[in-house]
Amino acid sequence: MALLLWLGSQLSSIWSNISILGLFLTVFTLLLDFMKRRKKWSRYPPGPASLPFIGTMFSIDFHNPHRSFGQLQKKFGNIFSLQNCWTNVVVLNGYKAVKEALVHKSEDFADRPHFPIYEHMGYGKNCEGIVVARYGHVWKELRRFSLSALRNFGMGKKSLEERVVEEAGFLCSEIKSKEGKSFDIHVPLNNAVCNMICHIVFGDRFDYGDETFKKLSWLFQNSLDQETGFLPQGKAAEENGFHYNSLRLVTLDLFTAGSETTSTTLRWALLYMLLHPEIQSKVQAEIDRVIGRERPPSMTDQASMPYTNAVIHEVQRCGDIVPVGIPHMTYRDTELQGFFIPKGTTIITNLSSVLKDETVWEKPNEFYPEHFLDAKGQFVKPEAFLPFSAGRRACLGEQLARMELFLFFTTLLQKFTFVLPEDQPRPRQDGHFALTNSPHPYLLRALPR
């Protein structure tokens, strides 16, 4: 009996010590978390209450982050802070705040945070591409090289324009083969746009049914295994970022940024034409008047087609293709509209709040091409039109994308009238967010004109 009492007292003492240790560890962990999350800077942007360890993650709907940011903007203003676990995040909203950061203080906001997904894909911790690389000498060299390579392969020249027109012809042949039956145009559009990057990177295009092309289209989002013999070689070049891994990532950037966004924009364009047949008719009337039914469109036609140009720009604005952009990071301590933002802070530019800024756009939540037309019907582009972002990290392929959008869109509407299948309900206008904001799947019929 005495032994049992002694064992009981010892166990009680052990449990008491464990409880004290547990309490100590809990308090220590909470204090550590508090110190990690504590803001020691004055004039730091306000934000929602931060919970231990998880921060403000419950304040954001990650399926529609731009909408969550819109709600927080109403409460905390155009510049507010979030806490992603122990990572400091500042969200910029509205045209004035985003322009000041990306244009007037472009270098202050030119850095990128770490993206673990690229390390998982085998590129290492210090991946050096043109989209997600840290700001510095290597990034500048790679971006300069990439721009030069794009120009050498024809960006901005008649030769590449001719390739786009040729590819638009192949796309029309693919659509014509559907014989007016309903189909999903997602894959044909993606194939056509992807072929333009294939032409730049590989020097040739693929037939849409080619099995290699199908596999490439599926794999390019993960990695590309291709020769880099035409690129700079030697130790000095490698020190400037020209080694296999970084150049493979540059190619991946070209495919991801150069095809997905453009094909998604064209899907939005055709969806809006289905939903607004009167606008489609106006575009076709302008095409018939300026180009006719037989001659292929040319970039020189753009200046004579203000309504078509306005429609394309309104597709980009209303479709809101990249609503929150790619995260930036402050390169140095900086200030923005009276707020102090320290070096190393992750910055989210809510481009959706710029493209739908109620202080700029007459009907921000409607498809309204007149946003880009003056009283005389001439094309105008408000400064708040920033679908390609701005500043040092602005989209590298903006010029190529503009060319593709105009030539593909005008060619399609020159050759076809797009209508909703009679048995299909009205397509949804809200997008599906997964970095890009894409339309929900829909079917259409393409009637030859």
CATH assignment at residue 62: 3.30.43.20
* Domain co-membership, 305 together with 421: yes
* Domain co-membership, 310 together with 326: no
In this structure, the number of other CB atoms found within 10 A of the CB of residue 227 comes to 8
In total, how many domains does the chain have?
A: 2
> Is pLDDT above 50 for 231?
no
Report if pTM > 0.85: no
* Domain co-membership, 339 together with 441: no
* Domain co-membership, 440 together with 307: yes
Model pLDDT for residues 33-65, shown as the tens digit of each residue: 455 555 667 899 999 988 887 888 888 888 889
Model pLDDT for residues 419-449, shown as the tens digit of each residue: 999 988 889 998 888 778 999 999 999 999 9
> Is pLDDT above 80 for 32?
no
Model pLDDT for residues 300-329, shown as the tens digit of each residue: 999 999 999 999 999 999 999 999 988 999
How many angstroms from the chain centroid is the CA of residue 192?
A: 19
* Domain co-membership, 156 together with 143: yes
Pairing of strands 346-349, 328-329: antiparallel
* Domain co-membership, 248 together with 341: no
More confident residue, 332 or 127: 332
Domain region containing 433: 137-316+392-448
* Type of residue at 219: L
Bridge partners (DSSP) of residue 341 are 334
> Is pLDDT above 70 for 68?
yes
Residues 6+ apart with CB under 8 A from 298: 161, 165
Closest CA to 317 of 365, 279, 380, 281: 365
